[in-house]
Structure formats: C-alpha cells, structure tokens
Structure 1
Amino acid sequence: DLTTASFSRASIDIAGNILLTYGIVHCIEVGGCQFTKRPIDRHLNLLVALGGYTDDGKIFYLKKDWKNSNDEFIFDCRTTNGISSVGVTIHAILSCCALPTHIQCKLTSIALEISVRTVIALIAQYRPCVVFESERIIIFEKINEYSNHDLVLEHLPI
C-alpha cells in the first residue's frame, strides 16, 4: 500500500510525493527518521506546507488544490538546529516532482551530499531544475504546458 510511508529508513522521504499523488498518506511512527529516535518534525512540516492536513499527526489529507493554484511553493530544508537535512532535502525534491508543472518550486538551505546530488540527477530527467550551490537553493521552473513526464514513484526502475 503506497499510501503508508513506513518500515524503512528512507520511507518518510516519499510521503510528500504520495500525498500529492494520492491525496492521503499515513505516516507510521516506526518508519523514517524516528527509527533512530531522530525527530521527523521537518518532514511533517513539509506535508503541511504541501497542503496536507491532519487531525492526529499520522494521517495527512491533501486539502490544497495545486492544479487550480498559481501559488509558488517555497520550503526551507534546514532542521530546527539550522543544519541542512539530507532527508528533508530529498523528501522536498521528490515532493516538488509531484506538484503540477505550472507551479514553480524553490527549496532553500538544501543539503548537497552525494545522495542529494544523485536524486537531483535523476529527477532532472523529469522536471527541469537549476541548482545554485553557493546559496544552497534549487528551483524547479514553471512549465505552463501540461507535461506527461511528472515523476510518479511507481514508474522509477529500482
């Protein structure tokens, strides 16, 4: 069940993409960063920034209609300690790929470790983006025409 993000260390990183694709995601506390007692607060903040709503902090429903919105999506990928988070950066990148292509996305304070660079190289095939390394910013440009190349995680070869 793809709507449940759990049971692997990186599972929380796909929660935003699932929320935007299916309209619902269930975050089980055992999965993601909580597996090692690290907080997942920034991941949950990302779900809310994407338009998610929750009553219990575990099941998020998509309330924002991005298809009929012209809003820009901006998210800061730092932890509450001010450190750029690899997991939050990857989570935000994968989430931006599920937003409609007419939405410009800007991620700030991104981590630039090799795992993030690998994800950027992969997603650049699906959605054009520009990385400003010195400022730690990635921008997914607005594409006004409909694109059938939106990244859906099920389509990735694993």
Structure 2
Amino acid sequence: MMLEKEEHLVACDRGLDFIKELRKVDLKDQNTSAGTNPNSSNRPAFQLNRKMAASGGEPQILVQYLVLRKDLSQAPFSWPAGAVVAQACHAATAALHLHRDHPHTAAYLRELERMRKVVLEAPDETTLKLLAETLQQKNIDHKLWMEQPENMPTCIALRSYPKEEVSRYLKKFRLFQ
C-alpha cells in the first residue's frame, strides 16, 4: 500500500513538472516574440481581457473543474485518500496536456501560483459517465480519466474555462468532501 501511495505522488509530481516545462516554453516564446517580460504586469496572466464578464466589465477568471467519484473512498471500494486524489491529479494533468494549445489553457498555465481549481463530487460511476456524455454533446473540452488496468472511470477534468461558460453543466454537483 505504501508503494502505491508513493507511485501516485510521483505521478502527480511528474504532472506538475510537465506543466512547469510548458510554462517555461510559453514564457520563452513570449519573451522572444514580444521582447517584453510577461510577468511585468500586476494582473494575473490567466485573466482574459478580450472577453469581459457580464457583470461590471471585469476580466474573466479561468477555472479548471474536476468531478471526482465519491464512492471510490467508500465501501466496497474504500480507496485511500491518496489514491482518490491521484485520480484527480491524473485527470487534471491529462486535460491540460490534451488542450495545451487552447488559448484558455495557455493563459491558465502562465501563472502557476494563481491557478484556480474546483473539485466536485459525483456519487458514482453512472453519474460520472452521464456527465461525460453531456459534456461531449455540448462540445465542452474535458478528459474522462480511466484508471488502468481496471478501465474504470474515476474523474472528469475540464480544460480551464471561464466559470460562466460551464457552470450550468456542473451546478448539480457539490464540492468534494
């Protein structure tokens, strides 16, 4: 069991290392093309100024939503907390990687210290799969993480989105506890 927890931690660390490398490449590209320091502004880099939020003209904040199966931590599964958290790490990393060329993802990754994630809970596999179908039908970019070798859906991670664009699909889910 201890080895399993360590493997999950290593996987999360690798995902974070990958994101840091993406950020370095993005910053290098910006410095080369613009000749300016992308960190010179006081506003968070992941705020998009092109689109203004409906209320008050404020820039939209990007959020990455994750929906994690709650039943994995309960009987009959009874997965340890670290194993459940690792599923969210895998899904988040995969979603960011798959959509790394999207402007929202690039903006989200520019300022690692100000990332916003919201982790919600789905009661079971069926609910998670239904959400995945809905997101697919509505063309919402996401990754349904399948734990291997069991081929078991465990978590959905959306790419980063302005909250207003995706909250209607997630409003029935509560914060993961």
Short-chain TM bin: under 0.3
Q: What's the TM-score once normalised by structure 2's chain length?
A: 0.24
* Greater relative contact order, per chain length (Cα 8 Å cut-off, separation 6+): 2
Q: Which has the larger radius of gyration?
A: 2
More helix by share: 2
